[in-house]
Structure 1
Amino acid sequence: MNILFLTLAKISTLKERGIYHDLMREFSSHNHNVYIVSPIERREGQKTTEKKEGNATFLNVKTLNIQKTNFIEKGISTLTIEKLFLNAIKKYFSKVKFDLVIYSTPPITFTGVIKYIKQRDNAKSYLLLKDIFPQNAVDMQMLSKKGVLYKYFRNKEKELYNISDKIGCMSEANVKFVLNHNSYISKDKVEINPNSIDLQLVTDVSEENKKKIREKYQIPYNRKVFIYGGNLGRPQGIDFLIETLQAKSGDKDVFFVIVGSGTEYDKLKNWFDSFKPENALLFPAIPKSDYDLLVQSCDIGLIFLHKDFLIPNYPSRLLSYLEFKMPVLAATDSNTDIGTDIVKNNCGMAVHSDDIKSMINAIDTLKKMDGAKFEVLRQNSLNFLKKEFQVEQSYFKIIEA
């Protein structure tokens, strides 16, 4: 089949790893022709480009800045990207007849592109629902339900759901949320299709290499190391992350590594610069290959979500932790089921992201856990990934939809 994939994640090769790279590589490995449309943001200073790699074609469309930018530019970008993508598809893919169009949220403004492809080619459509907008903006007090923008985006959201032949949600809580808040959607249209990766045969890092990696980043060797990697924005509840670091700043048996970028990075950096914690380090985003090695040298993966979320987020960073057999400590709102899943699969602990006492107790429990119990959590992490988050499972769900 000819597959069209629309995404905000810049993809220009399938030789890299990532949830969308892995999914498209899976389609490619089954001999489908894959056409991937993704942005080149304004900050990169490049023009729209097309290139081929085996049976994959990459169309990188010049857009405004969309990710890790201020809310105003992000909003304008979300409004304009549909037209930019549609014009590029008409120009570069005018002779390609697509059988299936796959797209992920954000954004919710691809409806014009999807309608065009469905009408022109009689294609099927599959939505990978990774972000429930505009409700998430309401949760973060960026939009009001009484405002014109909310109503505009809410109509766009309904239009996107209606035009999708199938909607793949990240978890059971996401399925329930979508159906409970959109009564017009048939239950048969919605299924669980979570973030997934192409599982690599990862061998444990030797103690010698672990020591070298920690030395490289000036991380103590004889402590339990907790790592948070990924976006550092308002949705991650950075205030609670700072509260946690401050509460444990005197604990010489633990060490915290924070790696990432986002709109709240400067806020976190200012805290590091003024407080100067002796048991924590902050790094800006680093290449994925370096990040993977750094993760493997640490002991426990951290997940943070803002306490006010009504939508059930399910961060993809969980998969990196599970792949490297790391127990996970999640501090989340009460609506997501990621913490429940972690506890149910006995691969970590979960607390509410405004309960600092429970967070301290969880850190202390993991810090003091004996080797045998800790190893059970590690193995359960990998088992959880194998059972729920392999890209082949996502591929077959889409193909069979």
Structure 2
Amino acid sequence: MRVAIVADVFPPLRSSGAVQLRDLSREFVRQGHQTTVLVASPDLKSAFRIDEQDGVTIARLRSPKTKDVGYVRRMAGEFLMPFAMKRNYRKSPIAGRPYDAVIWYSPTIFLGPIVRWLKRRNNCTSYLIVRDIFPQWAADMGLISRGPAFQLLDQVARYQYRSADVIGVQTPGNLSFFDDFRTAHSECQLEVLQNWLGDAPDRGCSIDLEATKLAGRRIFVYAGNMGVAQQMDKLLDCAVAMRDRDDIGFLFVGRGSEAGRLSQLAAERSPDTILFHDEISPDEIPGLYSQCNVGLICLDSRHRTHNIPGKFLTYMQAGLPVLASINDGNDLQKMVETRNVGRVSVAADGADLPGLASALIERELADPAIADRCRALSNELFSARAAVGQILDAVTQR
């Protein structure tokens, strides 16, 4: 099959979405499919650049900047992005390449126009991978009001839903969000498509914890974005509350709008037990986790949608049980508790996290099989092989 994957993130970006799309494209190739990735590239000087990596053709298409800019500029860039991608793709030497399926990844919600164009041009099936429900989650958290801006973004999101023949959401709980959409668009197939990861060998890591102030401690690690949506103060408060324990340390690795503020607070409140480090290459993550004991997850308690963060997958793959602070009712809670792979707090203020952390570190010591349960969960539900197989089944049956 000839597959096009459309996205606004891809390595060398280090986000979880970029890593997922890299792993997905590699797995399509591994299963024998001709795979082309069309990715928005705001830093590109020319209209396009064509790369070949791991058997995947990557068409990097110049587009407006949408990351690390103000809200107005970001909004304008997001709206213009798919049209710039289309224009620059048509200039590329692979513009005439045919496709049997178009797959795209949300977030972002703005890729509908280029997907519709590719779909009409190739008379093929489209599959939308939805990893968060935007703008609903932003409104739930009070980041935007449910006024005109929300209504506009909601219409953009619905346009992309209408562009899909199949929509894959990441948890069963998210299916209910689409109840009204399914009533109006019964021709669109809805299904649960679990998150995925490809194989991740340990290639070492530039962070050597034995050479830091956390040497000899059992490590709680957070690796990923540190932004408003993560409500990271709860994790920092937990770490500060446990600062008198000389056997435990907290490591935060990544970047984001809150990273600088949190690092400064940690230096003031608990300088000996908390370490912040800039983001590292995704290829270094397995080497980092091999030095750690528990993975940390934090989501804003105001979320009403369901979310299984990409970092949860990386923790499971590495055999790390999780300490998670999430919104009440999130499908992740049931998964963690029924599979016995960690502890979950749904308290809005995270006040119970220190107690849960202490219990989990003792459990991790007394129950070495917990690492095996984590890896088994990863292999069963979160493999790139399973994701590609499910997508192919869906598009070939249309």
Fold equivalence (TM over 0.5):
yes
Distance in 2 (CA, whole Å) between partners of 1:108 and 1:265 is: 26
Could you list the runs of 5+ residues in structure 2 that have no partner in the other structure? none
Could you list the runs of 5+ residues in structure 1 that have no partner in the other structure? none
Q: Is 1:396 the equivalent of 2:389?
A: yes
Structure 2 residue matching 1:94: 3-state secondary structure: coil
Q: 8 Å contact 2:325–2:350 — kept in the other structure?
A: no
Q: 1:365 to 1:180 in 2, by over 3 A?
A: farther
Q: 1:284 to 1:357 in 2, by over 3 A?
A: same
Deviations 1:198-238 (A, max 9, x none): 23577xx9xxx99x9322344221x2210001010111012
Distance in 2 (CA, whole Å) between partners of 1:187 and 1:243 is: 48
Match for 1:252: what amino acid? D
Distance in 2 (CA, whole Å) between partners of 1:45 and 1:248 is: 49
Distance in 1 (CA, whole Å) between partners of 2:294 and 2:316 is: 10
Distance in 2 (CA, whole Å) between partners of 1:370 and 1:328 is: 10
Distance in 1 (CA, whole Å) between partners of 2:22 and 2:257 is: 25
Aligned counterpart, 2:108? 107
Distance in 1 (CA, whole Å) between partners of 2:28 and 2:330 is: 30
Structure 2 residue matching 1:82: 3-state secondary structure: helix
Deviations 1:52-92 (A, max 9, x none): 34642111122333345543343232212111111122222
Measured after TM superposition, the shift of residue 39 of structure 1 is 2.6
Aligned counterpart, 1:157? 157
Structure 2 residue matching 1:231: 3-state secondary structure: coil
Aligned counterpart, 1:145? 146
Q: 8 Å contact 2:3–2:100 — kept in the other structure?
A: yes
Measured after TM superposition, the shift of residue 174 of structure 1 is 1.7
Greater mean alpha carbon deviation, residues 103-112 or residues 332-341: 332-341
Deviations 1:21-73 (A, max 9, x none): 1111111112221111113234x767631123464211112233334554334
Which of the residues 203, 211, 219 maps onto 1:216? 211
Measured after TM superposition, the shift of residue 256 of structure 1 is 0.3
Which of the residues 248, 252, 266 maps onto 2:260? 266
Q: Is 1:356 the equivalent of 2:357?
A: no
Aligned counterpart, 1:251? 245
Distance in 2 (CA, whole Å) between partners of 1:54 and 1:370 is: 37
Measured after TM superposition, the shift of residue 239 of structure 1 is 2.3
Distance in 1 (CA, whole Å) between partners of 2:390 and 2:364 is: 40
Aligned counterpart, 2:65? 65
Within a 5 Å distance, the mapping from 1:2-401 to structure 2 comes to: 2-11=2-11, 18-42=19-43, 48-53=48-53, 55-92=55-92, 93-147=94-148, 149-179=149-179, 183-186=183-186, 189-200=189-200, 213-221=208-216, 223-369=217-363, 371-373=365-367, 375-401=368-394
Greater mean alpha carbon deviation, residues 324-333 or residues 175-184: 175-184
Structure 1 residue matching 2:254: 3-state secondary structure: strand
Q: 1:72 to 1:296 in 2, by over 3 A?
A: farther
Distance in 2 (CA, whole Å) between partners of 1:128 and 1:377 is: 31
Q: 8 Å contact 1:179–1:187 — kept in the other structure?
A: no
Structure 2 residue matching 1:50: 3-state secondary structure: strand
Q: 8 Å contact 1:31–1:55 — kept in the other structure?
A: no
Measured after TM superposition, the shift of residue 143 of structure 1 is 1.9
Q: 8 Å contact 2:26–2:54 — kept in the other structure?
A: no
Cα RMSD of the aligned pairs, angstroms, is 2.6
Distance in 2 (CA, whole Å) between partners of 1:166 and 1:116 is: 17
Q: 1:27 to 1:357 in 2, by over 3 A?
A: same
Identity value in percent: 21
Count of matched residue positions in the alignment of Structure 1 and Structure 2: 389
Q: What is the TM-score normalised by the length of structure 2?
A: 0.90
Match for 1:171: what amino acid? T
Structure 2 residue matching 1:59: 3-state secondary structure: strand
Distance in 1 (CA, whole Å) between partners of 2:266 and 2:371 is: 30
Deviations 1:305-343 (A, max 9, x none): 011111212210111111111111110011421122111
Distance in 1 (CA, whole Å) between partners of 2:47 and 2:96 is: 22
Distance in 2 (CA, whole Å) between partners of 1:45 and 1:94 is: 19
Deviations 1:356-378 (A, max 9, x none): 332111111022336342x1221
Deviations 1:100-147 (A, max 9, x none): 100000111111111111111101100010121111221232322122
Structure 2 residue matching 1:357: 3-state secondary structure: coil
Match for 2:239: what amino acid? L
Q: What is the TM-score normalised by the length of structure 1?
A: 0.89
Match for 1:398: what amino acid? I
Distance in 2 (CA, whole Å) between partners of 1:393 and 1:187 is: 24
Q: 8 Å contact 2:62–2:88 — kept in the other structure?
A: no
Q: 8 Å contact 2:364–2:370 — kept in the other structure?
A: no
Measured after TM superposition, the shift of residue 267 of structure 1 is 1.7
Distance in 2 (CA, whole Å) between partners of 1:76 and 1:156 is: 13
Structure 2 residue matching 1:174: 3-state secondary structure: helix
